[in-house]
Amino acid sequence: NAGVTQTPKFRILKIGQSMTLQCAQDMNHNYMYWYRQDPGMGLKLIYYSVGAGITDKGEVPNGYNVSRSTTEDFPLRLELAAPSQTSVYFCASSNTVGSYEQYFGPGTRLTVT
Amino acid sequence: GNSVTQMEGPVTLSEEAFLTINCTYTATGYPSLFWYVQYPGEGLQLLLKATKADDKGSNKGFEATYRKETTSFHLEKGSVQVSDSAVYFCALSERIGGSQGNLIFGKGTKLSVKP
């Protein structure tokens, strides 16, 4: 199993550009999440999904969009990149039972200049 | 709302020293509690967890006990190694939208272990 994979690993964007961060999991998990991690801070939830076709906002959704057309994939879209979106982005997934343990991808480091 | 507070770092120890990283939480209900570890350049990995009061989670020599009376989940290890150098995050789960949990993270504690 590959677990949770993310692409790209690094990206530099200019202000106003758009991009999609890819996330995929092969564990057949229904729940998927996007977090951002700013320096010296914990992770903050951007969006989450409880299954294909169902998404909802987390703590910091502004400037982002998501879709969930399949169980495996959960891409995160930045439409008009801003310097405030410079961060490391983590995708995670979890099963629907138990202690809500989440499995994380390796992250995407995004810089907006 | 729910929150997690963990001790500020960085923490620097010599190899074989005893480690404690304090974590306290505020939550309604009965959340599950976690410690995640992040090695340099990598994503977060679950280190250990506890799902109810008085549970002890343990893994790789690390331990933490879910203390409801003190709302704490302190991480301990009796003898740290250089390979334990990483950032450690305390987290709790909370229900969102009536469904399974979001994780609320502390800010992380960076541990450096010197030979």
Q: Residue A52, SS3?
A: coil
Q: How many CB atoms lie within 10 A of CB A75?
A: 17
Amino acid B101: pLDDT:
65
Query: CB contact, 8 Å: A94 with chain B?
Result: yes
Percent of chain A with pLDDT over 70: 95
Give me the total of CB pairs closer than 8 Å, taking one residue from chain A and one from chain B: 61
* Torsion angle (degrees, nearest 10) of CA B72, B78, B83, B85: 40
The whole-angstrom distance between residue A73's C-alpha and the CA centroid of its chain comes to: 10
Look up tokens 């076709």; give the residue.
A53
The string of pLDDT tens digits covering residues A8-52 is: 999 999 999 999 999 999 999 989 999 999 987 788 999 999 899
What integer pLDDT is reported at residue A96 of this predicted model?
A: 67
Q: Taking 60 as the threshold, does the pLDDT of residue A60 lie above it?
A: yes
pLDDT surpasses 60 at A97? yes
Q: How far apart are CA B52 and CA B2, in angstroms?
A: 17
Mean pLDDT value across residues B7-29: 93
Does residue B93 belong to the interface with chain A, where contact is any CB pair within 8 Å?
yes
CB-CB: which of B42, B43, B96 is closest to A48?
B96
